[in-house]
């Protein structure tokens, strides 16, 4: 696919880098000090790596082959140091274990009037374990994300234990995670850390939310708590947050580097049309009907150029992923590897610093050893149509002032060069705050395993999920970025 150059700080891994690695690796094998004791499979690995030099998969395939080598001994450590030069930080290969998503599931997103939060959680946990071919007794820890149940229902403490009590998972460590809309990706990051650093071999990352409530003002107050409430009242008045999501007011007035609005209304409408079309292809989406540009433009005005159909619905739902170490003996084989997991907070009030999304994505590319040109599919946080365009620019798909062409050229549609939000995104799949980040990862994992049916991206091998939450000062409050490789 044709994309812009890597964002600042992202790893560039071209032919010269690979050739230098091959030269260094040759010196390891030829050296009397190290080469004499190298097992035969390491020498075969060098030969295989040499054959992959001129292919797109070179920096991806060696990671998988390296996994098959012994994990201990001085020779292995030396290979780790030599091989990770341009592909990934040494710490990822040398001191952390590789982590795989073995199973994932999500419920129907939408308004669940008759189903409780516990019903949703029990359904999705059972589904994810079934896909991983595991039973509750195999799970060693749970990281459960929920953003606003305390404000909606009053269940402020012991949220996860309350909804998990009948799943068979009680007794293991259960960690309750809250990080606004980024709660899901935060829970997934913590689950990844626990396996990568060897604390556990099999963990569950769970996200759930039930936002529907007869008292709408309660829902809006809960969602608006993702901002500094003192600042919210200063800007919008003491009654702010009773009848709308005030964050949309901020997102409705976004400008490009030339001081003009980032995108025209028709471009924003086309993002919604694309995602609603993708939503027709996933049975679990909140919205499953296609829309036209005219329908989007005629829907209720929200803020600036944004209309109702350019904004994500507030949904009920749950999503779950099962993470395992490579050598975990039980359950199915296969799955997808977590090549990068990055969690950051925003810049707050320091306008001299870049927005955190740039740094998070650059760090993710470096950690995974890939760049934007390697991505086959991405799920981004399209709380609004405008937010999707911002994310695509930060991913390095094109400069910010050229995002209109991504939609006009159908680059980000299914069938385009770089499909974005094949699940329908937040705009159509829906946005249950605590579940969104994990639902994104479930979609990417399914794409990389070729299990998405009519919305499948052909030969997808590398996927990215980017989930953000809240707004503090001049930036998002939190953001989690993950890269998965088949």
pTM: 0.80
At residue 249, the pLDDT reads 58
Most confident of 29-33, 168-172, 238-242: 168-172
Look at 90-104, 106-120, 145-159 and tell me which has the smallest mean pLDDT: 90-104
Task: Please report whether residue 481 resides in a domain.
Answer: yes
Task: Please report whether residue 209 resides in a domain.
Answer: yes
Are 61 and 131 in a shared domain?
Answer: no
pLDDT in tens, 461-473: 999 999 999 989 8
Range of the domain at 22: 15-94
At residue 51, the pLDDT reads 44
**pLDDT higher than 70, residue 65:** no
| Domain final residue, candidates 94, 114, 132 | 94
At residue 410, the pLDDT reads 96
Q: Give the pLDDT band (50/70/90) at residue 234.
A: low
Cβ neighbors of 167 (< 8 A, separation 6 or more) are: 121, 122, 125, 126, 136
At residue 26, the pLDDT reads 39
**For residues 245 and 470, is the Cβ–Cβ distance under 8 A?**
no
Are 73 and 182 in a shared domain?
Answer: no
> Tell me, what CATH number does 166's domain have?
3.40.47.10
**For residues 38 and 75, is the Cβ–Cβ distance under 8 A?**
yes
Are 63 and 178 in a shared domain?
Answer: no
pLDDT in tens, 409-433: 999 999 999 999 999 999 999 999 9
Are 82 and 149 in a shared domain?
Answer: no
Q: How far apart are CA 101 and CA 378, in angstroms?
A: 17
Task: Please report whether residue 3 resides in a domain.
Answer: no
By percentage, how much of the chain surpasses pLDDT 70?
Answer: 74
Q: How far apart are CA 114 and CA 257, in angstroms?
A: 48
pLDDT in tens, 312-327: 999 999 999 999 999 9
Are 216 and 292 in a shared domain?
Answer: yes
**For residues 342 and 367, is the Cβ–Cβ distance under 8 A?**
yes
Task: Please report whether residue 162 resides in a domain.
Answer: yes
Q: Give the pLDDT band (50/70/90) at residue 400.
A: confident
**pLDDT higher than 80, residue 182:** yes
Task: Please report whether residue 5 resides in a domain.
Answer: no
**pLDDT higher than 60, residue 94:** no
Q: How far apart are CA 259 and CA 191, in angstroms?
A: 41
Reported as type and span, the H/E element at residue 475 is strand 475-485
Task: Please report whether residue 256 resides in a domain.
Answer: yes
pLDDT averaged over the chain?
Answer: 83
Strand order in the sheet with 317-325: 174-177, 141-145, 202-209, 317-325, 99-106, 336-345, 475-485, 462-472, 377-379
Question: Pick the residue with more confidence: 60 or 227?
Answer: 227
Burial 180-218 (b: 16+ CB within 10 A, else e): bbbbbbbbbbbbbbbbbeeebbbbbbbbbbbbbeeeeeb
At residue 57, the pLDDT reads 44
Are 90 and 102 in a shared domain?
Answer: no
Are 65 and 118 in a shared domain?
Answer: no
- Radius of gyration from C-alpha coordinates of the chain: 23
**pLDDT higher than 60, residue 19:** no
Are 85 and 129 in a shared domain?
Answer: no
Q: How many CB atoms lie within 10 A of CB 373?
A: 16
Are 161 and 105 in a shared domain?
Answer: yes
Reported as type and span, the H/E element at residue 322 is strand 317-325
Are 64 and 103 in a shared domain?
Answer: no
The angle that helices 15-30 and 74-83 make with each other, rounded to 10 degrees, is 160
Are 101 and 89 in a shared domain?
Answer: no
| Domain final residue, candidates 63, 94, 125 | 94
| Domain final residue, candidates 77, 94, 111 | 94
At residue 485, the pLDDT reads 98
**pLDDT higher than 70, residue 29:** no
Are 127 and 49 in a shared domain?
Answer: no
Q: Looking at the 3D structure of the chain, how many domains does it have?
A: 2
DSSP code of 473?
T
């Amino acid at each position: 696919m044709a994309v812009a150059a890597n964002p600042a700080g992202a790893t560039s891994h071209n032919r010269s880098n690979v050739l230098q690695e091959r030269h260094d690796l040759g010196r390891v094998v030829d050296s009397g000090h190290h080469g004499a004791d190298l097992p035969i499979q390491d020498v075969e690995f060098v030969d295989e790596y040499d054959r992959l030099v001129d292919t797109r998969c070179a920096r991806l395939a060696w990671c998988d082959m390296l996994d098959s080598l012994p994990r201990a001994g001085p020779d292995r450590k030396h290979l780790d140091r030599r091989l990770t030069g341009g592909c990934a930080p040494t710490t990822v290969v040398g001191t952390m274990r590789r982590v795989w998503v073995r199973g994932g599931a999500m419920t129907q997103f939408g308004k669940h009037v008759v189903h409780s939060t516990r019903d949703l959680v029990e359904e999705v946990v059972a589904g994810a374990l079934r896909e991983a071919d595991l039973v509750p007794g195999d799970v060693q820890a749970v990281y459960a994300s929920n953003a606003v149940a305390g404000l909606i229902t009053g269940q402020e403490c012991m949220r996860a234990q309350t909804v998990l009590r009948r799943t068979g998972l009680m007794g293991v460590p259960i960690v309750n995670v809250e990080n606004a809309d980024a709660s899901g990706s935060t829970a997934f990051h913590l689950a990844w850390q626990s396996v990568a650093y060897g604390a556990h071999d099999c963990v569950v990352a769970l996200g759930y939310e039930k936002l529907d409530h007869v008292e709408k003002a309660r829902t809006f107050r809960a969602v608006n708590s993702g901002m500094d409430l003192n600042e919210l009242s200063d800007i919008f008045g003491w009654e702010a947050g009773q009848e709308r999501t005030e964050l949309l007011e901020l997102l409705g007035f976004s400008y490009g580097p030339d001081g003009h609005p980032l995108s025209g209304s028709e471009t924003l409408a086309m993002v919604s049309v694309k995602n609603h079309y993708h939503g027709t292809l996933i049975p679990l989406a909140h919205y499953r009907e296609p829309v036209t540009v005219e329908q989007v433009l005629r829907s209720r005005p929200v803020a600036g150029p944004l209309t109702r159909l350019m904004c994500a619905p507030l949904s009920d739902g749950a999503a779950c992923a099962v993470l395992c170490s490579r050598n975990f003996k039980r359950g199915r084989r296969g799955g997808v590897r977590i090549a990068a997991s990055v969690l950051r907070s925003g810049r707050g009030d320091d306008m001299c610093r870049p927005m955190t999304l740039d740094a998070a994505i650059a760090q993710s590319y470096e950690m995974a050893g890939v760049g934007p040109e390697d991505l086959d599919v991405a799920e981004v946080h399209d709380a609004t149509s405008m937010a999707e365009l911002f994310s695509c620019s930060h991913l390095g798909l094109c400069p910010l002032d050229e995002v209109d062409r991504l939609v006009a050229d159908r680059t980000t549609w299914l069938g385009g060069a770089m499909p974005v939000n094949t699940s329908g995104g937040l705009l159509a799949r829906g946005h249950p705050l605590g579940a969104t980040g994990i639902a994104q990862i479930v979609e990417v994992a399914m794409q990389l395993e070729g299990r998405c049916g009519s919305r499948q991206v052909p030969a997808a091998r590398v996927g990215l999920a980017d989930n953000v939450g809240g707004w503090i000062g001049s930036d998002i409050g939190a953001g989690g970025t993950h890269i998965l490789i088949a």
